[in-house]
Amino acid sequence: MTCYSFASGPAPLPPDVIEAVAADVRRLSGSSYSLLELPFTNPLFSRILEEAEDDIRYLLALPDTYHVLFLQGGATAQFSLIPQNLCNGVAEVDYVDTGLWSHRAIEAALPWCQVNIAARGDGRTLPCPASWLRSPNAAYCHFTTNETADGLQYHQWPADDGPPLVADMTADLFTRPFPIDRLGLVYASGQKNLGATGLTLILIRQDLAERSSVTTPSPFDYSRQVQSRSKVNTPPTLAIAIAAHMLKWIKVHGGLAEMEANARRRSDLVYAAIDTSGFYSRTVAAFDRSMLNVCFRTPTARLDELFLIQAAEQGLLDLCGHIDIGGLRASLYNSARMGAAEALVEFMKHFQAKWG
């Protein structure tokens, strides 16, 4: 039986990336080291880091005015570290409150500054960027491009006409082209589209990298990490090496335009099955639906439970919704295959025929 995982993270990796990492773990080409033993001070590691950065710059067409940081701590750590790094004496910040992950970012910012809610979603739709009330005095405006737990995704980008924009792109960085030059800072955990847990990627514009506070712990101080090229302390070497393979895989498979086309094809198939079923229901509006996290329900919570059990018996794994939200969720990140979406749709039809 072919098994597919629809986990929200860590997400499945492409088999050839797993093979390449496994080979590096046995012995890194041109060296006597296993990847697991490679010191971060070794020139071989510097080469991995530089190649990863070059690929990031190529894929995103990242201007030279941006720095790339490879840090630890996950996006959740950044929720507290962003205000610590960027406020720099400014008391106010703007946040767009659109779902579970932006709520968490807001809660983490509250001890550090006055949080203005620039806009609030209603759980089914996203407030359009043109409607955000951005304060001229804010140190930055934070938004979440893809609400992983709620299944919402921004398909419009805000204009860069106020305080710098800060985007949590944990779920959709490297899944589509986007106007990076409008954003001051982008951050993402690695375990969805960029490989493995343990790496937090930060893209930061030079003017924001210059803001810093003496009280921020040095591993999380963006300006110090920029100066030492992500080596203030030991960087997550294994996760960086996995990301380096994943970035090459994205390049070989057509770059961001192709990642987006595939994500759209996979999610369109599942959404169409939901919308035409008369049995399943989508939890968000069509124009704000996520290409990465398809959230849906059967008519009852009891049937949702049964769906999960019977799907797992057919090799369709990890389809439960976020623990705080419930329902069902199919996460389909960069390495998800079209076959996964097709197998899910097939199962959905069988399940409906039996229980509908």
Q: How far is the CB of 103 from ligand PLP (least distance, A)?
A: 11
- Under the rule (CB under 6 A), what is the footprint of ligand PLP? 8-9, 74-76, 101, 144, 148, 168, 170-171, 189
Find all residues with CB under 8 Å of 265, minimum gap 6, and list them.
Answer: 338, 341
Residue 168 is a catalytic residue = yes
- Least distance to ligand PLP from the beta carbon of 99, Å? 9
Q: Dihedral sign, CA of 134, 62, 109, 148? A: positive
The owner of tokens 């008369």 is 278
Peptide bond preceding 10 in cis form (omega within 30 of 0): yes
Known catalytic residue: 132? no
8 vs 262 by CB, closer to ligand PLP: 8
Q: Which amino acid is at 99?
A: G
Residue nearest to ligand PLP (CB): 74
Shortest distance in whole angstroms from residue 96 CB to ligand PLP:
13
Q: What is the DSSP letter of 320?
A: B
Four-residue CA torsion sign, 209, 213, 216, 218 = positive
Q: Nearer Cβ to ligand PLP, position 189 or 212?
A: 189
What burial class does residue 233 get, using C-beta atoms within 10 Å of its C-beta: 0-12 exposed, 13-18 middle, 19+ buried?
A: middle
Q: Which is nearer to ligand PLP, 24 or 168 (CB)?
A: 168
| Identity of the residue, 4 or 187, whose beta carbon is nearer to ligand PLP in the bound complex | 187
What span, in angstroms and rounded, lies between the C-alpha atoms of 306 and 320? 11
Q: Is 101 a catalytic residue?
A: yes
Which run of H or of E encompasses 81?
Answer: helix 74-86
Residue of 24, 97, 112, 192 with catalytic role: 192
Pick the catalytic residue: 94, 97, 101, 132? 101
- Name the minimum Å distance from CB 79 to ligand PLP: 8
Catalytic choice (168, 221, 288, 304): 168
**Shortest distance (Å) from residue 105 CB to ligand PLP:** 7
Shorter beta-carbon distance to ligand PLP: residue 175 or 189: 189
**Min separation Cβ 7 and ligand PLP, Å:** 10
For 114-127, the three-class secondary structure string (H helix, E strand, C coil) is: EEEEEEECCCCCCC
Q: Which residues of 270-281 are buried (b: 16+ CB within 10 A; e: fewer)?
A: bbebbeebebbe
Q: Which is nearer to ligand PLP, 148 or 225 (CB)?
A: 148
Give the Cα separation of 150 and 162 in Å (integer): 27
Return the active site residues: 101, 168, 192
